[in-house]
Amino acid sequence: MKIVACYSNKGGVGKTAASVNLAYAFASGGARVLLCDLDPQGAAGFYFRVKPSSKLQNETFFEDEHQVAKAIRGSDFENLDILPANSSFRDFDVFLSQMKNSRSRLKKMLKAVGGEYDVIVLDCPPNLSMLSENVLKAADLIVVPVIPTTLSERTFEQLLDFVGGGGAKDTSARDRIVGFFSMVQRNKLLHGDTMARMREVHPDRMLRAVLPFATDVERMGVHRAPVLDFAPDRPSSRAYRQIHAELCDRLQTA
């Protein structure tokens, strides 16, 4: 079983869209996939028309794998199940702070419920927190969408500093962080300059695939489905397939 976390310490970068489309891509390739929505806004579950379990509340998520397993829902797509979020997930940090071995709780839970899956994709809330430390410890790959702007570049560097010893307890996570450029507008000089600079600074960390700014991604909320399903031939879908292919290559050596 491999765990892929779609994570960013900055909101609005296309993290959930990436989670949804990558989970779909893994499943379409024949892998048995669980998409685990850790964001209390519950957008990933919404895209798949899945309602959260009202019984999966508070510390139960980390202490009762049987209740977590019962909260998993099937999707409309073969090989793809969803563990939807509910509003109580906003208190994860409170409960984690009160638990023993708090930084390993997520990894322990995923191992307990993930035996029948080949890949678990995590859609993570945008912050640096105790839950973030759990994600960094659990994931085989941490995939970070980066809009090629100065502020997004700065937050990406902040994440690397955090896992490099500036806050996280698991500094090995730095080696498992990969980024891809999201919402790219090639006619913007700033975007081109930022991508070139970041590729020079992080030659082995930034994926080759580039996700263009596209209304197709915004239409996911209307269709309530992955772009790869309702617009498979569009540039955004081609980009997600390229991202998926690069991640598969990296997971083979993870």
pLDDT in tens, 204-228: 999 999 999 999 999 999 999 999 9
Q: What average pLDDT does the segment 144-161 reach?
A: 94
Q: Could you read off the pLDDT of 103-147 as tens digits, one per residue?
A: 778 998 899 888 899 999 999 998 888 888 999 999 999 999 999
- Look at the alpha carbons of 123, 127, 131, 133 in this order and tell me if their dihedral is positive or negative: positive
Residue type at 182 in one-letter notation: S
Bin 101: left if φ > 0, else alpha if -120 < ψ < 50, else beta.
left
Provide mean pLDDT across the span 153-177.
Answer: 81
pLDDT given at position 166: 56
* 58 pLDDT tier (thresholds 50, 70, 90): low
Asked if 229 and 236 count as a contact pair (C-beta separation under 8 A), the reply is no
What's the pTM value of the predicted model, to 2 decimals?
0.94
pLDDT for 239 equals: 98
- As a whole-number percent, the residues of the chain with pLDDT over 70 amount to 96
pLDDT value of position 102: 73
Q: Please report the pLDDT score of residue 59 as a whole number.
A: 73
C-alpha dihedral, 235 to 142 to 120 to 128, nearest 10°: -110
The predicted pLDDT at position 170 comes to: 61
| Predicted pLDDT at 206 | 97
Q: What's the rounded Cα separation, in Å, for the pair 200 and 203?
A: 5
Provide the CB-side half-sphere exposure for 174 (13 A, CA).
17
Output the average pLDDT for the chain: 91
Strand order in the sheet with 206-212: 73-74, 80-83, 33-37, 119-123, 2-6, 141-146, 177-184, 206-212
**Are 176 and 137 within 8 A, CB to CB?**
no
Asked if the model's pLDDT at residue 199 lies above 60, the reply is yes
Give 154 or 92, the one with higher predicted confidence: 154
Average pLDDT over every residue of 61-78: 90
Reported confidence tier of residue 169, pLDDT bands at 50, 70, 90: low
Contact assessment for residue 223 and residue 230, using Cβ atoms and an 8 Å cutoff: yes
Measured CA to CA, the distance from residue 62 to residue 104 in angstroms comes to: 10
Q: Considering just the CA atoms, what is the radius of gyration of the chain in Å?
A: 17
- Residue 129, helix vs strand vs coil: coil
Structure tokens at 134: 């759990």
Residue 86: what pLDDT? 85
CA-wise closest residue to 81 among 48, 115, 109:
48
Task: Please name the residues in contact with 208: beta carbons below 8 A apart, sequence gap of 6 or more.
Answer: 242, 246
In the predicted model, what is the mean pLDDT of residues 241-247?
98
Q: In the predicted model, is pLDDT for residue 167 greater than 70?
A: no
Question: Is residue 11 over pLDDT 70?
Answer: yes
Q: How confident is the model at residue 195 (pLDDT cuts 50, 70, 90)?
A: very high
DSSP letter string, 17-60? HHHHHHHHHHHHTT--EEEEE--TT-HHHHHTT-PPPTT--TTH
